[in-house]
Structure 1
Amino acid sequence: MNPVLVAHGTRRAEGVAMVADLADRVGSQLGTRVRTAFVDVLGPTPAEVLSALPAGPAVVVPAFLAGGYHVHVDIPAFVAASGHPDVTVTEALGPSQHLVRVVLDRLVESGWRRDDSVILAAAGTSDARALRDLRVTAAMTSAALGSRVELAFAATNEPRVRDAVAALRAAGARRVVVASYLLADGLFQDRLRAAGADVVTAPLIAHPGVAHLVANRFRRAFVDGRVRHPC
């Protein structure tokens, strides 16, 4: 088994360390080493990691919360460039009921109250597929909480998180909670903290449920020692 976890990449050392820690925790569950690669900002790239793997099939799990350009275009291009003869790329981590439960856990541990106004805060995307995934996740989170959850963005899309917080306050919200829908700490999480909410939850990556979800992605791709290519 040659599992590879592919993340976006960040200039923040703590964000890189978070990805490495996730790979270690997933590797402990799988009983094998999980290598990491990044599509932007820093290396190694997925092509570099895949080309250096030992013989045997490889599985790439995109550590992305929605399926966008990086998942549908960048990662397949890196796989092709690697020359590796047998690579399966799984779906992105979200949308997923499993991730919604992680978001709910983050809300509860942050002191969320049932009468709070909640914003699900994502990084933002120009990819229509990723935007659809984020809207699905917001709807799933609304259903799980039993109240409307607003979707807002740290970058790229509208509304921005700061504007969404201000709009809820103008509408009479007593407390506003920003539920981070970011994987790791970094610039975008800093923007959530600076948006003026009463509470901002932690990013998702350190939650045990994320490691469990990633491990299951790898397990489903390997069946009886053979790679199953998902439809």
Structure 2
Amino acid sequence: MDRSPLLIVGHGTRSAAGVAQFAALVERIRRRAAVDDVDGGFIELSRPPLTDAVGALVARGHRRLVALPLVLAAAGHGKGDIPAALARERQRHPGLRYAYGRPLGPHPLLHEVLARRIDAALDGDDRAGTWVALIGRGSTDPDANAEVAKVARLLWEGRGYAGVEPGFVSLAEPSVPAVLERLRRLGARRIVVAPYFLFAGVLPERIGAQSDAYAAGHRELDVRVAGVIGDCDALADLVLERHAEALRGDIRMNCDTCAYRVALPGFADKVGRPQTPHHHPDDPADGHGHHHHHGDHHHEPALRPGQVAVVGGGPGPDDLITVRGKAMLDAADVVVADRLAPAGLLRGLRPGVLVVDAGKVPRGPAMTQDAINDALIGHARAGRRVVRLKGGDPYVFGRGHEEVLACAAAGVGTVLVPGVSSAVAGPALAGVPVTHRGVAHDVTVVSGHLPPGHPDSLVDWAALARGRGTVVLLMAVESIAKIAGALVEHGRAPDTPVLVVRDAGHPGQRSWSSRLDELGALAAREEVRPPAVFVVGPVVDLRG
């Protein structure tokens, strides 16, 4: 029998009790003397760090280890964070080799421990009149969430409870209060809340607090909270079983419903993506707002229930949205779309996605900004994934930051996804670079929605007229004659070349050339309508 040393890798916790339980388990396994050496460490949040545990084993002469992730389900920590941390240790210790074990659950040994914890909470009361709420951590990995539902079923099988319902303390529904409400409506009178957690920690404490709060509001119910799995012989047995499996090369994972391999509804953005370390929103950040992951990896934020993604859809064509923006749309439950948002993207949404049209047709029927903000906040508070889809870039005359501020004031989290702005893309798609070596070293993007002379205008038209660079005018169709007149009046050369681009990037794209002093007449004669971009300056002459 292979007795290779065992490296136990924990995620880490801010809870001193949780750290103590981890240390006790490591010591319990060490006392078994079933393997040649045992050490354990955490990848973040707690001491000892993983690097100390590896260093200790290496110092004692070991080069070949079994690394076992002390996690219940294969989610981000087991699939991404822990392997990444181990890869760094291999760089640190040339010649180090390890076999990687599979997650602990689901396993009958753990289900037996859970049943014992539930019986302890029942203290002699019968199982038949007892409903169990099995509460998992909750993940952005649907397979990990599905596993909690599977464990709930396996826990119910043959044990005689009235029923077992799965729930989650973070990131997934139903929440603790929601699952307790569900059990109440099913007729439950006695409920045991069972945390599906290895050790004490911030989240198990939260489960207890939320259960107590619900019980306080429903005095007719008998709600009890069971203990976590904790340091025990059964857990030590299972760790050693996983150690033996890893050495045999038997590390089956459930790949049939793994979101990194199979497109699942709302998670299509994960397929084929490297399983990289990611930040969990419930992991408290350190003082710098950073998590305790090493390296400069920045994980693309997934869209979570209750969040609003403010997404720039680009200048018009469906395929000029960013990859991240498309991933947000693929995950959305609700899309609040502007008139200039790419229409084809809306046709490509998953069935059942609610599309709210916030079309701001000039002086036509349109939702007010307040109504749009209310819609974003309302859907997010209902637990939906919300995308606010705009044309161009949301922070270039898109009122995107107003929406981010409104969400923040309402306690709703946001994700900002920049877009390709029509200010740059419109001219480019018509053959005009807004900057060019030796021709233009600056470009000014100007909103034309208020004409020169308007009391609310913040634009210094005289300064613009004195400039030599490129001026790009957006939302200027109505005011273009007045704008061109003001630029000439303040000193811009009357024969400055101008290009008007309408429907940039679409099959119906049109462009017109003009001189600055003839621009108003051209726009009237050709009946130029929005959406149009005006580009003013010597770069226009570069157009082939």
Task: Tell me if both proteins adopt one fold, taking TM over 0.5 as the criterion.
Answer: yes
Match in the other structure for 1:148:
163
| Selected match of 1:108 from 107, 119, 122 | 119
Question: After TM superposition, where is structure 1 displaced by more than 6 Å over at least 4 residues in a row?
Answer: none
Deviates more, 1:51-60 or 1:101-110: 51-60
2:99 partner letter: T
2:78 partner letter: V
C-alpha displacement of 1:25: 0.6
Is there any run of 5+ residues in structure 1 with no aligned partner, and where? 222-226
* TM-score, structure 1 as length reference: 0.88
1:154 partner letter: V
- Do 2:19 and 2:46's aligned partners in 1 also have CA atoms closer than 8 Å? no
- Do 1:29 and 1:215's aligned partners in 2 also have CA atoms closer than 8 Å? no
- Do 1:46 and 1:75's aligned partners in 2 also have CA atoms closer than 8 Å? no
Alpha carbons of structure 1 residues 66 and 77: separation in structure 2 relative to 1, 3 Å = same
Match in the other structure for 1:157:
172
Deviates more, 1:145-154 or 1:20-29: 145-154
- Do 1:121 and 1:154's aligned partners in 2 also have CA atoms closer than 8 Å? yes
CA distance in 2, matches of 1:75, 1:187: 20
Q: Percent identity?
A: 30
Deviates more, 1:86-95 or 1:128-137: 128-137
Match in the other structure for 1:191:
206
Match in the other structure for 1:49:
53
Match in the other structure for 1:224:
none
| CA-atom RMSD in angstroms | 2.0
Alpha carbons of structure 1 residues 171 and 134: separation in structure 2 relative to 1, 3 Å = closer
- Do 1:24 and 1:33's aligned partners in 2 also have CA atoms closer than 8 Å? no
CA distance in 2, matches of 1:93, 1:19: 14
C-alpha displacement of 1:136: 1.6
- Do 1:50 and 1:79's aligned partners in 2 also have CA atoms closer than 8 Å? no
- Do 2:14 and 2:202's aligned partners in 1 also have CA atoms closer than 8 Å? no
Match in the other structure for 1:6:
9
**Is 2:44 the partner of 1:40?**
yes
C-alpha displacement of 1:181: 0.8
Higher Rg = 2
- Secondary structure of the 1:145 match is coil
Higher helix share: 1
- Do 1:124 and 1:157's aligned partners in 2 also have CA atoms closer than 8 Å? yes
C-alpha displacement of 1:33: 4.0
User: How far does the alpha carbon of each residue in 1:70-116 deviate from its partner, in whole angstroms, 9 at most, with x for none?
Assistant: 11111211222111531011110101112111111111122152211
Alignment of 1:65-104 (within 5 A): 65-83=72-90, 85-104=96-115
C-alpha displacement of 1:45: 4.1
| Selected match of 1:58 from 41, 62, 65 | 65
CA distance in 2, matches of 1:79, 1:229: 18
Alpha carbons of structure 1 residues 61 and 144: separation in structure 2 relative to 1, 3 Å = farther
Match in the other structure for 2:131:
117
1:129 partner letter: D
- Secondary structure of the 1:6 match is strand
**Is 2:222 the partner of 1:218?**
no
CA distance in 1, matches of 2:225, 2:232: 16
- Do 1:39 and 1:70's aligned partners in 2 also have CA atoms closer than 8 Å? no
Is there any run of 5+ residues in structure 2 with no aligned partner, and where? 216-222, 252-544
C-alpha displacement of 1:157: 1.0
Alpha carbons of structure 1 residues 45 and 132: separation in structure 2 relative to 1, 3 Å = farther
C-alpha displacement of 1:218: 2.1
C-alpha displacement of 1:47: 4.7
- Do 1:181 and 1:204's aligned partners in 2 also have CA atoms closer than 8 Å? yes
Alpha carbons of structure 1 residues 102 and 39: separation in structure 2 relative to 1, 3 Å = same
- Do 2:130 and 2:163's aligned partners in 1 also have CA atoms closer than 8 Å? no
- Secondary structure of the 2:239 match is helix
CA distance in 2, matches of 1:169, 1:129: 27
User: How far does the alpha carbon of each residue in 1:13-39 deviate from its partner, in whole angstroms, 9 at most, with x for none?
Assistant: 111111000111111123554211112
- Do 2:149 and 2:165's aligned partners in 1 also have CA atoms closer than 8 Å? no
**When the two structures are aligned, how many residues end up with a matched partner?**
226
